[in-house]
Amino acid sequence: MAVVNKSEREAAPNTCSQDSVILRLNGISKFYGRIRALSDVSVAFNAGEVHAILGENGAGKSTLMNIISGVVRPQIGIIEFDGRVVSNLSPETAAALGIAISYQHPAILDDLSVLENLRVSLPDEVFSGGSPRAIAQAMLDQVGLTVPLRARSDLLTVAQKQLLEIAKALAIKPKLLILDEPTASLDQDGTDMLFRRIREVVAAGTSVIYITHRLAELRQIAQRVTVLRDGRMQGSALVADVSDQDLLAMIVGRSLGSAFPPKAGNAGNINFSVGSLTGQKFSDVSFDLARGQILGVAGVVGNGQSELMRALAGLLVSKGDVQLSGRPLLPHDLLHEAAFMPSDRHAEGLAASLSIRENAGISALDKFSRFGIVDSKMELQEVSDAFRSLAVKASSIEAAVGALSGGNQQKVVMARALLSEPGIIIADEPTQGVDVGARAEIYRILREVSAKGIPVIINSSDAAELEGLCDKVIVMSRGRVVETLVGEDVAEARIVAAAVGALTHVDRQESSHARAKVSNWRHFVQTDNATAVPLVLVMILLGLYVFGQNSHYLSSFNIGNILMLATALGFIAIGQTAVLILGGIDLSVGPLAGFLVVVASFFVIDGQPPAVILLGFAIMIGLAILVGLVNGLLIRFAGFTPIAATLAMYIGLQGCSFLLRDSPGGYINGTVVGWINWQIGPIPLAFAVLVIIALVAEYGLRNRRFGWQLRATGSNDGSARRIGLRTDRTVVAVYISSALFTVLGAIMLMAQIGVGDPAQGANYTLSSITAVVLGGTSLRGGRGTFIGSVLGTLLLTEVLNAVSFLGLSQTYQYVFQGALILMAALIYSTVRERAAAPH
């Protein structure tokens, strides 16, 4: 047998010549708290070779990849790249060394277009020496991705995103290319194309690390294979020298260290059956389960198992035949009958801030209550009883559930499930993140529940666990059941063999060619600037209507007046837009504008020499930078929410204004006011400046690196960091820029009110948000438009002006304002949902 086993491992890297090694890992260990993710892993990756990493879920493959790509740092061990020891590997330095990674879950930013995704994640050099569009198009062609460059990435299918992710990795012509389960969502054509590309880059001398679960693929593409199990190396070998049986033997056989309860002996009557159930990501699933049996769902993660579990719990829509003790159940009934134990306890299992008792009792409150009032004694009694039988270990039943260990948290979830007296139990990865001791107890409890006649269905990516616990196992691949194992056949090796040996591919309709075409109309509605059309139309119609009522409305004086008023709000709205694109909010802009005017009223006043006036402006800018900096730092480094940080700033700044002046005073220098209000015909110069700034900002937002970074950070902070963006710095910079735009707004405001008045300015906060929302920027982050915000400001000002021109009461002023923002928000959100929906 040519497999290099553990004792010979040290010698393994030396079997190939020294100079061809690109990356060498020596004794890498990584711990998360007490849990060991990797221990003492040593492996070398050669140039011009595809090196596959094989292992079960949780074997440590992804941790290893994260270490190589610089996302995670090992506690112990040495990384050598190209013969040099690299310490402090970060995503940026890894990229600089020529390490590219294609993640299994692509780091694609949904709110950016295909082209922008490529440009923000790749260095500028890649696009130099030609038209960026042509270069980007070539990248897509290379991976056979046929989507328009301008298409927004949220329209892409998972397979298309995967191809885009691979295109990004290939584009930097890496020395080391990591592909993390790249074919998980690809169809046969896509896989073939990918393999051709891999062979090309390998021929050119690149080292490829290929992570997979599928033995068949390994044989097709890899020269060398390393197997991980439980965070340890099981061995390395040349693919040609090793048989499938040997590889399987290395993958499976991990020691669980916890005992399993005895299985059900004689199967009773069938009490739960599912017939050709089809739903999102799975199809035609059938099985039945006898009384006292536990069903296991197996397969490589992401093959439809978790969707199947959700459908069985009634949380996802599904079609098919489900019967519990002969009674047919609809998805709605399932929601009430089934007790669901989700895999991610933090995200949807428990409310971490509530107590253990509250979490456990929540689904059984009706049982503990009379006339809607909870009987606390009864609740305490029942919950305590449940905890005693489940052996929950906690300092107190009133302790926060978030403070418990994983095993005890899972027991709380089980207690909740059992207290609700369910008809069926659906447990998704019930022992994930649970220590060995608690696992045995969880197995025991599940077995007891099953023995009572409640059907139990378990999804687990741990085949050994399924072997020990289940009476029947269905193995899923690409959403279909590829194997049903019963009795003696429920064995880890059989389960893994079925899961990794499956040859099913994604159906063609889900492939990279679907949904590629985007009609022009749909594309336009998708763009952030689409709102400009309705806004301009409404403005023109409103203008004409009011002009019909009062011919002075379109006089040069009134137009100048509207534009002048809009300019102050417009500048502040531009700053607010940037913050909202980031997914934040800046409530402090209004009081900041007011405060800056008060500051100006000490310097920019009649009779002061120009030097003092200039000093005044400099102080305004300096204070604004300080305010923006404090906002940004509080949000990013002190854990404040944007609302909390800027609200505290709001109140504080208002106080500062009153501290400086308790009543209006300090008349602003007339010459300065004259300059600020300078008009060319009906157009104030300041308004022209606003328009130019908005256009430049808009151009930068779409075509410059900082704009992409801003939108990437707002779109998805985590993905932005994975592609190497410094999101903290972006956030702080944007809050500072918001404060700086507020300086411009304050200068306009200063000219309008002409005096330092501490009571002015605060209302600009809400007005700026109104204008920005009217303009079409969403508060969800990632999308926005500066042009829209200026148009929104203009429309808002026009409406308020029109109300007084039409002689309407103040009532209408408010009603129009409120109706405008609500209608805009409603229309924009529905139009976007429609446009984003598939044909």
Please check whether residue 344 is in contact with residue 356, taking contact to mean a CB–CB distance below 8 angstroms.
no
Q: Which is nearer to another protein, 12 or 731 (CB)?
A: 731
Burial class (CB in 10 A: 0-12, 13-18, 19+), 373: exposed
Q: Is 365 in the site for another protein (CB under 8 A)?
A: yes
Residue 338: strand pairing partners: 424
388 conformational bin, left if phi > 0, alpha if psi -120 to 50, beta if neither: alpha
How far apart are alpha carbons 184 and 148 in whole angstroms?
23
How far apart are alpha carbons 822 and 828 in whole angstroms?
10
Q: Is 505 in the site for another protein (CB under 8 A)?
A: no
417 to 446, contacts with another protein by CB under 8 A? 420, 429, 432-435
Q: Which of 117, 122, 115 is nearest to 724 (CA)?
A: 122
Q: Which is nearer to another protein, 138 or 638 (CB)?
A: 638
783 to 802, contacts with another protein by CB under 8 A? none
Which of 655, 678, 695, 699 is the binder for another protein (CB under 8 A)? 655
Contacts of 471 (CB under 8 A, 6+ apart): 263, 264, 267, 290, 292, 293, 294, 295, 486, 487, 490
How far apart are alpha carbons 190 and 183 in whole angstroms?
8
Which of 416, 439, 478, 494 is the binder for another protein (CB under 8 A)? 416
Q: Is 739 in the site for another protein (CB under 8 A)?
A: no
* Residue bearing tokens 């299992």: 349
Question: Beta strands 424-428 and 456-459: pairing type?
Answer: parallel
Which of 20, 39, 82, 105 is the binder for another protein (CB under 8 A)? 105
Q: Is 353 in the site for another protein (CB under 8 A)?
A: yes
**Closest distance between another protein and the C-beta of residue 136, in Å?**
26
Residue 176: strand pairing partners: 99, 207
Q: Which of 106, 107, 81 is nearest to 93 (CA)?
A: 81
Q: Which is nearer to another protein, 3 or 597 (CB)?
A: 597
Q: Is 602 in the site for another protein (CB under 8 A)?
A: no
Q: Is 340 in the site for another protein (CB under 8 A)?
A: yes
Q: Is 503 in the site for another protein (CB under 8 A)?
A: no
How far apart are alpha carbons 195 and 520 in whole angstroms?
34
Q: Tell me how far apart the terminal alpha carbons of the chain are, to the nearest angstrom.
A: 55
686 to 725, contacts with another protein by CB under 8 A? 717-718, 721-722
Q: Is 664 in the site for another protein (CB under 8 A)?
A: no
Stretch that binds another protein, among 276-284, 331-339, 536-544, 698-706 (CB under 8 A): 331-339
82: phi then psi, degrees, rounded to nearest 5? 55, 35
761 to 780, contacts with another protein by CB under 8 A? 766, 769-770, 773, 778-780
635 to 654, contacts with another protein by CB under 8 A? 636-641, 643-645, 647-652, 654
Q: Is 354 in the site for another protein (CB under 8 A)?
A: yes
Q: Is 396 in the site for another protein (CB under 8 A)?
A: yes
DSSP, collapsed to helix, strand or coil, labels residue 802 as: helix
Q: Which of 534, 596, 553, 604 is nearest to 571 (CA)?
A: 596
**Closest distance between another protein and the C-beta of residue 606, in Å?**
25
- Cα pseudo-dihedral 342, 346, 350, 352, rounded to 10: 180
Residue 177: strand pairing partners: 100, 208
Taking residue 7's Cβ as centre, other Cβ atoms within 10 Å add up to 8
Question: Beta strands 480-486 and 472-477: pairing type?
Answer: antiparallel
156 to 185, contacts with another protein by CB under 8 A? 180
Q: Is 75 in the site for another protein (CB under 8 A)?
A: no
Which of 87, 88, 395, 520 is the binder for another protein (CB under 8 A)? 395
Q: Which is nearer to another protein, 65 or 668 (CB)?
A: 65
Which of 132, 144, 261, 406 is the binder for another protein (CB under 8 A)? 406
**Closest distance between another protein and the C-beta of residue 211, in Å?**
9
Which of 238, 267, 380, 755 is the binder for another protein (CB under 8 A)? 380
Stretch that binds another protein, among 202-210, 275-283, 564-572, 631-639 (CB under 8 A): 631-639
741 to 760, contacts with another protein by CB under 8 A? 758
Which of 22, 43, 50, 65 is the binder for another protein (CB under 8 A)? 65
